[in-house]
Structure 1
C-alpha cells in the first residue's frame, strides 16, 4: 500500500461525507446554493459574467413528491438523474454541477507574455509536481515566457486540463499568468477553494475525467466534461472541517511507516475505501512488481488462441466471425479485425505494464447466458436455477432458489461448474461472483457464464469487473458500456497480465484485504 493509495482513500471519504461528522447546527448546503444563485444574478445584471445557457438545479425527488432519488431541472424540463449519482451523501449536502458554482466556463482574460510585467509570477506545467505540489516559482522574466497566457488571481483554483491524471491542481498562492493548459477559475458563495481542489483530486473525479479525455498522446479534459461534473457540496462550515481534517492527516501519509498506529483515528468506513484503492492499483499493474522472468501475457494469449482453435476443430465451439487481435506500437494500441487495423487508444481506460496485454474478453472466455422462463414450455426436468437476485459481489444467496423445466441440451448450455465466473447482464449490470461450489447449478438468461479457454487466475478477472463497475466503465455514463449483451461482453476491453503475475496480484489483494479487515 503506497502513500498515494492511502491519500486517495482519505479524499474519497472526504467527498462522501465520511471523513468528519456532520453538525446539525450547520447551515445546510441548500441555503448556500440559494445565495450563490442570487450572487450570480447580480453579477449577470452588472455584466460581470454571462448568463448560464443551461442553468441546472438538482434536488432530491422526495422534496417535490417525485418517485426518483434525484432530479435535475434545466429550464422547465425535469429529468431523473438517479443513475448519474455516484454515491450517497449526507442530508445536509447537495449535488450541483461544477459549472453552476464556478467560473470554469466563463471567458478567461488573456495576455501575450511579451506584454506582461516581467516581475509577476509565470506558471508553467513543469513547475507542478504530480499531485499539485509547487516545485519552483519563476517570474515571467526568469522564465523568458512567450506566447499567449491566461491571467489568474490569488485564490483562484488552478486546474491542469492536460493529462488530468497527473492531478496538477492547486489554489493560487499569488496572482500571475499561466499556460493555457491550466484553467484558472473561482467559486461563488465563499465556497472553500481548498475543498474544490481536494474534490478534483479525489478518485471519483480522477476516474471520471480520465475516462472522458480527448486526444491520444496529449489527453485533455474537455470543458463540457468539467462543467458537468457532479460536485458533492457540503455546508460551508463542514467544508472547512474537511479541509482541516485532510491537512491534519497529511503528515500521517508522509510518514507512512508509522501510519498503522494512527489508522484507528480514522473513520470506521476507511477499510472499505481502502479496499477500492487496492483494487485500482492491482488491475493497473501497480500492486506487485513485474518479474522479467515471467512468461509474458502475449505468450499466454497465443496459448489461449491455440486452445480455441482445437475446440473449434473438434466442433465444440463455433469459430469467431470477427476475431480480434490487439497489438501495441510505441505504447499505442491497435486492433486488427478481418485484416483491418484501427487505433483503439480512446478505449483504453488506463496504462498497463509492457509485459501485459490488452484483449477483448471474448478472446479469453467462452460465455453463455442461461434460460428464459417460459410458462408454456412443458418439456424437460424440473431443476433449480439462480437469477440475478441470487448473485451478489463475490457471493451467492442460495436460500431461495426457483425452479423451471430444462431439457438435456438446455442443461448443458445453462449449467455452471466450479470456477466459472458469473456476471449479471441485467439489474446491477456487471455484478460478478465465482461459482466455488462442488455441485453444478443452472442459470437464467440474465446471467453470463464465463469459462476460460485455458488456465487463468479467474479471481483477477472478477476484480477487473469490480473495478470497471465502480469506475463507471460498465453500466455507467460516457464511454462506459450501458448494458452487457453477449456482443458487449465479448468486446469488453480488459488487461491481461502474465499468468504468474495474475496469481501474485490476487495473493497480494487477499493479503491486503485481510489487513484492511483488521483496521
Structure 2
C-alpha cells in the first residue's frame, strides 16, 4: 500500500464521501490485536479502521456533510413549528458545537420526544410466563437477545412501560451505557426495566436518523462525559438535554438512505477483511504444522527455509507471531530444532547426577518434594528423541510453595512476588507489593527462591512461568510455586518445556475446577518432563533465544505498522470532519 500523509490526502480529496471510498485500503488495514475477546466472540482482533469508518459516517450524517442540501426542502424550523406543541427549551449560542447547514435547527431531545425510564422490577418476582421484560443485557445495536428471557405478570400498572415500534432504547448504566436499539419490530409485547430509557419521537422525526445521531460522536461524547463523572451512569435529565442538530424532514430521509448504503459498504468491507484474516491464519497454521511434522532437523531446515522467504508477508499479525513463538517452543521440546550430536553425554548420566543431588538434599535438609520414579508408555506425551530421558517434575526440583497463607502487605519493605507478577516467560515487577522485614523472616520458612529458579502459577492463571532474574531478596506469595532445580543448569530448557503446548496440555488434563481452573501440587509433581543431554539443552536454548529475538523484531515492526495505520485512519476522520 502507498501511504499518503494527511496533508496529501487533504489535497487530493475534496468531499467527505470521497475520503470514505477512495481510501478503502487505509480503513481495512488498521487492525489491532485484542487483549481479550468480547462476550460471545472468538475474534482476537479489532477492525479499528472499519469501526472508525462507521463512526465517521454517523458523524458526517449529523453534521450535514453526507448528502447535499436541497433549497426546496421545508426548513427544520417550519417542521418544528408544525409538529411541536410544547414550549421549546432554550439553546444558547455557546452550546452550539458546530455551524449547521442551511435549513437545519438546534433542538433539545425533550422537545421532539417523550423520554421515560423503565419500571423497577424485582428479579425475585420474575416468572416463566407473563409479559417479557427488557433489561440492559437483553439488547444491543443489532437487536434483542433471546438467550436469557425473563417475564413478569402483566397488569395495567405496566401499560406506561410498554415498548412500541419505532421507539429507541438506550442503556443508562453499566459498561454499555449509551448503547441504543431502534425497535423496528416487536416479536411480542414487552415492558422496559429500570435504567433503560425509552425514547418515543414525535411524528415527523425520522427514528432511524435519530438513532444514527445517538450513535454519533456528538452524543456519545456527552454520554462519556456524564458517565465519567457519575460512575458509568447517565441521568434522565442528561438524556432529555441532548442537543440535536435537526435537518429538514426530506433531508432526514436522504441521510438515512445514504447511511444505509455506506453501512452496507462497511459490512462488505468487514466480511472481506475477516475472510482475508481467516485465510491468512489458516495458511500460517498449515505452514507451521509442516514444521512440527518435520521428521528431523534436516527436514525442518528445508521447511523453515521456505517460510523464511516470506516472513514479512506471513507474520503480519500478533496472532501469527504468537503462533510462531509457540511452534518454536514445541520444536524445541520435540528435539527438532537443532541437530543432535552423538558425542553428547547422554541424558541418563545427567539424571544420575540429579538423583545424587536429590538424595543428598533428602538426607541433609529433609527434602520432601518427590514423585513416583516409575514411568510407562502412557505417561510419555512426546516422541522421545535418541539420547533423551524422562523424569517426573517432582524429582527434578524442590517445590517452594506458600499456598494457603496470606502475608500482610505494606507500602514499602521487602518485595512480594505474587501470581500477578508471573507472566508467560518473564517476571513483571508491576504491580509492586511489599511486606515488612519482620514478616519476611517469619513468613519465608519453606525456602528461599533464588536467581535461576523457576516461578510457576498453579491457578488464576494456570501455567504462567518465568525464571527468576530479580536481584536481592524477595518474598513469595500464595498461588505461586518456585521450582528450585536440583541442577541449576537445566532451568532454561525446562522453562521452555513448561511454556510449550505439550506441557500446557498436561496441566489442563490434570487440573480441577470450573471457574478458577487450578492444579494441585500432588498432581503437578507427577507430570513427566523430557530431558535432553545437557549440551543439547544449551544448543536448543541458544537457538530458541535467536528465534525469539526475530519474533520480537517482527512484533515491534507490527506495532509500528499498526501505529501508522491508526494515525492515518484518525487523520482521515479529522480531515472529513474538517
Q: TM-score range by the shorter chain?
A: 0.3 to 0.5
Q: TM-score, normalised to structure 2's length?
A: 0.42
Greater percentage in helix:
2
Larger-Rg structure:
2
Of Structure 1 and Structure 2, the greater strand share is in 1
Q: TM-score, normalised by structure 1?
A: 0.46
